[in-house]
Amino acid sequence: MIRRLALRRLGFLAALLVASVASILAHEAARSVYPHLVYITGWALLALMLVLTGYNARKKLPFLPLLKSSTWLQIHLYLGLFTGLAFILHLQWRWPGGVFEALLSALFVGVTLSGIVGWWISRTLPKRLTTAGGEVPYERIPVIRRALREEAEALVLGAIPTAKATTLADFYTGRLAAFFDGPANFRAHALGSRRPLATLLDDFIEVDRFLGPAEKETSAKLAALVRQKDTLDFHRTAQLLLKSWLFVHIPLTYGLLVFSFVHIVLVYAFSGGAR
């Protein structure tokens, strides 16, 4: 039995495919008989962009009966892909020559690509977060980071009188203090690399050779804290990415809308008797 969400995806994909093929065929057929087709595709493109932007307005009006957000998102995603095709048809399969039009087109591509990237990370990162465990709200991350740092420092300081040596403390100061002090390894976590953590844990093996039994016990606890901090850093990275892609997508969208309105004014101002 096909699950409900898979069935929904199939339905939208089928609708996208049919609409795309029909639009291309209709466009190519009309192109030869209707010389000002570009005006129609332009207005259609603007209408599609306004509908797509409407999703952001829906999010700000949760108390109005305006369909579920998940329904809006599905429409936004597939309509967004279709709008990409409408854009290509409007350009008549060629990149524009003028500076303003090129900039407008670049904005469109930027909005589309940032949307696709956002879609992809929204589908992949939540699973990685769940697998990593240690779920934590984003706002709580600095508090937990500070608690981990204080716990690590207390462990290291507590080991000095027992061991009558500062080997572990020196290791902490030289190798771990910066790691515990703030967010670390953003790029590695974003790319899914475990290398920084593995390197740190290898350093523990190195330093363990110089530690007594009591210090080794502290070192093991410290390594556990390093793993916790690494998970916390991963949560920060992933949640930051999940939140911040919208800070690219939405400003580009509003920029695109402004440029589009200017484009319309320019087209109608300078088209003269072409219409």
Partner 1 sequence: MSTTAAPAHDRPRRWDSPFSDEITDADVQSLLSRAPFVNMKADNFPRSATLPDVLKNDTRICRYKKGEIIVREGDYGTSAFLILRGTARVVLSPALPPSAVGRREPARRGIFRAIAQLWGNAKEDEVARKRDRSRFMRQDEGETHIILQDIPRILDKHRTATINAGDFFGEIAALSRMPRTATILADEDDTQLLEVRWQGLRDLMRYDPALRSHIDRIYRERALSTYLAEIPFLKHLDEAGKAKVMAATQFETYGDYDWSGDYKKLAQSGGSAGKEPVIASEGDYPNGIVMMRAGFARLTQRYGGGHRTLNYLGSGRIYGWNEIAHNWRQPDNTVPLQHTLRVIGYTHVLVIPASIIEQVVLPSLPKHLLPDLIKTEGADAASPFTRTPFALAEEKAKDSPEKKSEAASAESRVGSELMEFLTANRFFNGTETMVIDMDRCTRCDDCVRACASTHDNNPRFLRHGPTHDSIMVAQACMHCADPVCMIGCPTGAIHRDSFEGQVVINPATCIGCTACANNCPYGSIRMTEQRDESGGILIASDAKPIVKATKCDLCIDQYGGPACERACPHDALARINLNTLDDLAAWLHR
Closest CA to 233 of 108, 138, 169: 138
Q: Is 127 in the site for partner 1 (CB under 8 A)?
A: yes
Q: Exactly one of 2, 32, 33, 62 binds partner 1 (CB under 8 A); which one? A: 62
Closest CA to 124 of 187, 170, 191, 174: 191
Instruction: Provide, for the chain, the percentages of residues in helix, strand and coil under a 3-state DSSP scheme, each rounded to the nearest 5.
Output: 85, 0, 15
* x/- track of binding to partner 1 for residues 65-94 (CB under 8 A): x--xxx-xx---------------------
Residue/partner pairs of 87-95 with CB below 8 Å, 24 or more apart: 87/45, 87/112, 89/23, 89/24, 89/27, 89/41, 90/38, 90/41, 90/42, 90/44, 90/45, 92/31, 92/38
Q: Of the listed pieces 105-113, 128-136, 145-153, 248-256, which binds partner 1 according to CB under 8 A?
A: 128-136
Q: Exactly one of 35, 126, 158, 174 binds partner 1 (CB under 8 A); which one? A: 126
* Comparison of 128 and 216: residue with beta carbon closer to partner 1: 128
The phi and psi torsions of 194 (rounded to 5 degrees) equal -100, 5
Q: Exactly one of 2, 32, 33, 64 binds partner 1 (CB under 8 A); which one? A: 64
Q: Is 2 in the site for partner 1 (CB under 8 A)?
A: no
* Comparison of 11 and 98: residue with beta carbon closer to partner 1: 11
Q: Exactly one of 2, 61, 99, 269 binds partner 1 (CB under 8 A); which one? A: 61
The first and second tokens of residue 255, run together, are 């920029």
* Comparison of 204 and 234: residue with beta carbon closer to partner 1: 234
The first and second tokens of residue 133, run together, are 């465990």
Total chain residues near partner 1 (CB under 8 A): 26
* Comparison of 135 and 202: residue with beta carbon closer to partner 1: 135
Instruction: State how far the Cα of 60 lies from the Cα of 237, in Å rounded to an integer.
Output: 26
| Least distance in angstroms from the C-beta of 138 to partner 1 | 7
Instruction: State how far the Cα of 204 lies from the Cα of 208, in Å rounded to an integer.
Output: 6
Q: Exactly one of 25, 57, 59, 173 binds partner 1 (CB under 8 A); which one? A: 59
* Comparison of 63 and 270: residue with beta carbon closer to partner 1: 63
